[in-house]
Structure 1
Amino acid sequence: MHQTPSNHSEKRDFIRMRIDAQVSLLHAGQVIAAVCVDLSSSGMQIKAPQRYQVGDQIEVSIDSDHPALKGLHASTEVVWIADQPGGQQKFGLRILAMH
């Protein structure tokens, strides 16, 4: 079996699930409410009123309303940023570790 080296285009090989879920972002001691637009096994897209920079490390928590399911808690890193109208920002997070 032949394997090709990893490259940037492979990021789209992961299944992305659109969820539009409320999340809490913890960065530099500040907690910000935001929205997770979509989620994959390797990362997520977030829309937030707070501005971040590529390379920022952010703790993300998504609570579960279902008593049988635990929420998602992850350490992440900002990998891309897109400014939005009204001072908001969309950005991509790479999941570094799940807790």
Structure 2
Amino acid sequence: MSEHERDYAEKRDFIRMRVDANVSLIHAGQEIDGVCVDLSSSGMQVQAPRQFTVGDLLTVRIESEHAALAGLEADTQVVWARNEGDGQHLGLKILKMR
């Protein structure tokens, strides 16, 4: 199966939820603000204000707006990156939920 066919198959295998939530991206000890565009059980799409490289490991933190609900924190890996000006849209694979 080609990379393109696999990517298409993954889109059909996982339901994506539109989120548009502020996130913190932690990379090499630096915290960067971003926006989570959508989220599935295996990954997420994030808009970041700076450039990352495929293979980079990021910790993603999404704070909950409700005191009764815990936020989300996950270890992720960049699997694709699309440049947009100084920033990027990133496809992140969830490696581990914390």
Common fold: TM-score over 0.5: yes
- Counterparts of 1:8-87 in structure 2 under 5 Å? 8=6, 9-12=8-11, 13-85=13-85, 87=86
Shift >4 Å, 4+ stretches: none
**CA root-mean-square deviation:** 1.0
AA of the residue aligned to 2:42: S
Residue 89 of structure 1 aligns to a residue whose secondary structure is strand
What is the CA-CA distance between 1:82 and the residue it aligns to? 0.3
Percent identity over paired residues: 55
TM-score normalised according to structure 2 size:
0.90
- Structure 2 match to 1:3: none
- 1:18 & 1:92 partners in 2: Cα distance? 14
What is the CA-CA distance between 1:16 and the residue it aligns to? 0.2
What is the CA-CA distance between 1:50 and the residue it aligns to? 1.4
1:50-71 residue CA offsets vs partner (Å, 9 max, x unmatched): 1100000000000001111100
- Structure 1 match to 2:87: 88
Instruction: Flag structure 2 segments of 5+ consecutive residues without an equivalent.
Output: none
AA of the residue aligned to 1:24: S
Instruction: Flag structure 1 segments of 5+ consecutive residues without an equivalent.
Output: 1-6
- Structure 2 match to 1:4: none
Q: Which has the larger radius of gyration?
A: 1
Residue 65 of structure 1 aligns to a residue whose secondary structure is coil
1:9-66 residue CA offsets vs partner (Å, 9 max, x unmatched): 3311200001100000000110000000000000000001111000000000000011
TM-score normalised according to structure 1 size:
0.89
Deviates more, 1:25-34 or 1:10-19: 10-19
